[in-house]
Structure 1
Amino acid sequence: MSASGPAPSPDGRPGARTDTRAVPIGWRGRLSPRPGLERVRDSLGAIAQIVIAATAGFAFAHYVLGHPAPLLAATVTISSLGLVRDARPRRVLETVVGMILGILIAELIVAAAGIGWWQLGLTLTASLLVARFFSPQPAFAVAAAIQAAIVMVIPASVPFLRLIDGVIGGVAALLVTALVPRSPLRALIAGGTQVFAEFDSAVATLVQGLRRGDRGRAERGLEKARALQAPIDAWRTELESAAAIARLSPFLRRQRAEFDRQERIRGQLDLASRNLRVIGRRVVYLCDDGVARPIPAGLLAELGAGARLIADALGDISYEPAAREAVRSVAARLDPGALASGSSSVDLNLIGALRPLAVDLMTAAGTPAADARAALPRA
């Protein structure tokens, strides 16, 4: 029997028992205020854009043009901007076009047949079919249908007045995209750092498999390497969005060079991850015999350390020289001939597979591609 006695209640009275099962364990982290605050912080730029565009569009339509209830001037801006990170002007424009298309179809049907339940069904069918014809994006068709439904449900005294409101909302959204841009650099660095962390985890697991001759661990490392493509592609989308906004916005033009540097790192890490998958397959094959291979394990671990320095360089360019030298020092030792003593041809193939990985990492750290290849010993 425990001597500690029953746990005190939250108000300090002994003997009362707190039911920790009231909230499932999986939900405790979600109920913590920290993730919510982080989401709010990350969305402040998007929220500012939406509020400014929606209120400006509504105010212009209502006070300047005299529209009594310009609802669509606000809804079009909210739907086109959204809270997603991909706020490229082209994506915003495509969404705006989809919504205006839906409004136009609805206005034409209202003018010809009036408002009613079957007119609503006809409007939704027509807007969805036409939108799907013009765009492969499902969101384009959904945006068109939503705005068309609003037109059918909320009557207006003046024909095509809501179409004008929709155009005003779309113009407001595009102007805000350029004049009040979301600052994407912090999100880009965070996204890139996360990708590098997953890359490092894959490398570390493969290194452990080599050091222990553990095929199961090597297979887990290969699985992690294969899983890298999705976050790398998501990072690319964020970079494309940032670059597109910077081309349009005068406030982000100074960051163009930084976006280009980030894209260089991302592109080379993409190639490095593909080479890591090749290395992972060879490591799995090698570990089939259960023999430890400390030499290639050490070389791969050193390349992983260089990759961590490149990750640090995402937020601080001053780390790039150290990253270049760290990878270069490993590349200079990737000579299959010098390591041939006591090694099988399969082991030497693994050493050879590390060479393009080293080139990719050196290039990611800012080394010109020709210089990076020249740093390798002649095979």
Structure 2
Amino acid sequence: MSGDRLPFRRLRLPRPEVTIRERLGRVRENWRLLLRLAVATGGAFTIATYLLGHAQAFFAPIAAVITMMGGAGRRQRVVFELVLGVAFGVLVAELLILLIGRGGWQMALVASLTAIVAMLFNLRGMALTQAINSGVLLAAIVPVAGHATPAVTRFTDALIGGMCGFVMMLVLPRNTKRDIDASLQQLLRGLADVLDKIAQAMRTDDAALADAALTEARDTQPIIESLYSTAANVSEIARLAPLRWSQRADIERYAGSVDDLDNAMRDARVLARRVAAMLRHDEKVPTGLTDAVEILIHAVQIYGDEFASAVDLARANDRLVEASDLAMRALPGRLTVNTASVAAQVRSLAADLLMAGGVPRTALDDILDVD
């Protein structure tokens, strides 16, 4: 068989997950970020170099980028930590360099001792990082003759860059309402899909489909984490940027719903798990429970169509109350643990979605109690 030739297999390259058109669309969607980066970095460098005469003003644009790309909802703190860390790092490093000079072992000593002293002063996060960075750069870069000491210029550049980045976030803010609405829609679509699989599993007695719904619900965790980040980001911008002050009421309501929607998805996971257990034990699914889940789907879809509409919120809330009532009334005279748990989860899911829609927690019992 040594002379036999193996059949030729054509190599198939994996299809890219993101097309060129989608990537170009992403660039267009982020035009504000691109403009902010250009203006903030260029402005910071210009101020530090031409107005203040700094010969090595590289950290001014870097500080601007760090500020703009800082953690969502904490850019005020980022600016503070940035300047604090730089000031601390240049102080410690400058004292060490005056004593021991510059070189390889001096670099190692400066980096280590700066980190140790910063930790002893309880510096953390961005402040600790920038303290170490400042010490390393001071030890590595020989100051230009005739210019200010690098300790002074680096601290000033950090302040300039941080303020330029922060100002651009206020002058040209992102569209806060659109951004959080898009994130909410993504989560609501995911929740509707999970509930749809659960309802189909209940209709067809398919435990594997309920397990698939549970897996899909677990896979939404990155969406939820992204939504929390977006909510923190847009809340900060709506609070600080004058151009977005008119959106503050909507943003506050949107951001306030994130915890409740997170809880609703957790309820959906438990619901899928209980339905799967019910079907594996060959328990008969009360028709009313399946109908209740399908009503939940409709309510979530109404939310997804226009989360900001008061009329739609009222319609969705009515459907949620209907789903909860139907689930409670569908319980058979002889309960099993799984049947009772499924009904309880439908009620919990309805309650969390009602709170996401603005219903106070204190009003839930009166609204959802079955007569």
Q: TM-score, normalised by structure 1?
A: 0.81
Shift of 1:239: 0.8
Structure 2 match to 1:29: 17
Counterpart check, 1:307 vs 2:300: yes
In structure 2, the residue matched to 1:113 is 100
Distance 2:245 2:333 in 1: 55
Q: Does 1:365 align with 2:361?
A: no
Instruction: Give the Cα separation in 2 of the matches to 1:111 and 1:318.
Output: 70
CA distance in 2, matches of 1:47, 1:100: 29
Preserved contact between residue 102 and residue 145 of structure 1 (Cα < 8 Å)? yes
Match for 1:199 among 191, 202, 205? Answer: 191
Aligned match of 2:251: 259
> Which secondary structure does the structure 2 equivalent of 1:181 belong to?
coil
The 8 Å contact of residues 202 and 222 in structure 1, kept in 2 or not, is answered as yes
CA gap of 1:172–1:148, structure 2 versus 1, over 3 A, is farther
CA offset at residue 325 of structure 1? Answer: 2.7
Q: For the structure 1 residues 373 and 34, does the alpha-carbon distance in structure 2 shift closer, same or farther, using more than 3 Å as the test?
A: farther
Q: Specify the alignment match of 2:76 in structure 1.
A: 89
C-alpha separation in 2, matches of 1:227 and 1:240: 22
Cα deviation for residue 40 of structure 1 reads 1.7
The match for 1:56 among 40, 43, 49 is 43
From 314, 324, 346, give the equivalent of 1:321.
314
| Residue 332 (structure 1) shift | 3.7
Q: Does 1:271 align with 2:263?
A: yes
Q: 2:325 touches 2:370 (CA, 8 Å); kept in 1? A: no
Aligned length: 356
Distance 1:255 1:244 in 2: 12
Cα distance in 2 for partners of 1:100, 1:376 equals: 57
CA distance in 1, matches of 2:82, 2:27: 24
SS of residue paired to 1:25: coil
Q: Is the 8 A contact 2:111 2:135 kept in 1?
A: yes
Per-residue CA distance 1:237-282 (angstroms, 9 max, x = gap):
2212221232222222211111111123322212222322332332
Spell out, residue by residue over 1:145-176, the C-alpha distance to the aligned partner (whole angstroms, 9 max, x if none).
44443333332242222222222222323333
Query: Which of 16, 28, 50 pairs up with 1:41?
Result: 28
Task: Please list, as runs of the form range in 1=range in 2, the aligned pairs for 1:128-277 lying within 5 A after superposition.
Answer: 128-131=115-118, 134-137=122-125, 141-156=128-143, 157=145, 158-159=148-149, 160=151, 161-277=153-269
SS at match of 1:90: helix
275, 278, 285: which is aligned to 1:286?
278
Identity %: 24
Cα distance change on mapping 1:165 and 1:92 into 2, 3 Å: closer
- Counterpart of 1:162 in 2: which secondary structure? helix
Unaligned runs of 5+ in 2: 1-8
Distance in 2 between the 1:220 and 1:130 partners?
A: 52
Instruction: Tell me if the contact between 1:47 and 1:83 (Cα under 8 Å) persists in the aligned partners.
Output: no
1:342-378 alpha-carbon deviations (Å, 9 max, x no partner): 8756424422331222122223223344554333242
Question: Residues 132 and 259 from structure 1, CA distance in 2 versus in 1: closer, same or farther, beyond 3 angstroms?
Answer: farther
Q: CA deviation at 1:87?
A: 6.0
SS of 2:142's equivalent? coil
Q: Residue 221 of structure 1: CA displacement? A: 1.9
Please state how far the C-alpha of 1:207 moved relative to its aligned partner: 1.7
Q: 1:149 to 1:183 in 2, by over 3 A?
A: farther
Bigger drift between 228-237 and 81-90 goes to: 81-90
What TM-score, normalized by structure 2, do the two folds share? Answer: 0.82
- The answer to whether the Cα contact below 8 Å between 1:127 and 1:141 also exists between their aligned partners in 2 is no
State the AA in 1 paired with 2:174: R
What is the DSSP-based 3-state SS (H/G/I as helix, E as strand, rest coil) of the residue aligned with 1:182? coil
Tell me if the contact between 2:44 and 2:61 (Cα under 8 Å) persists in the aligned partners: yes
Secondary structure of 2:242 counterpart = coil
Cα distance change, pair 58–229 in 1 and its aligned pair in 2 (3 A): same
Give CA deviations for 1:318-351 in whole Å, capped at 9, x if unaligned.
5323322332332343333x64368756424422
8 Å contact 2:264–2:349 — kept in the other structure?
yes
How far apart, CA to CA, are the structure 2 residues paired with 1:90 and 1:359? 36
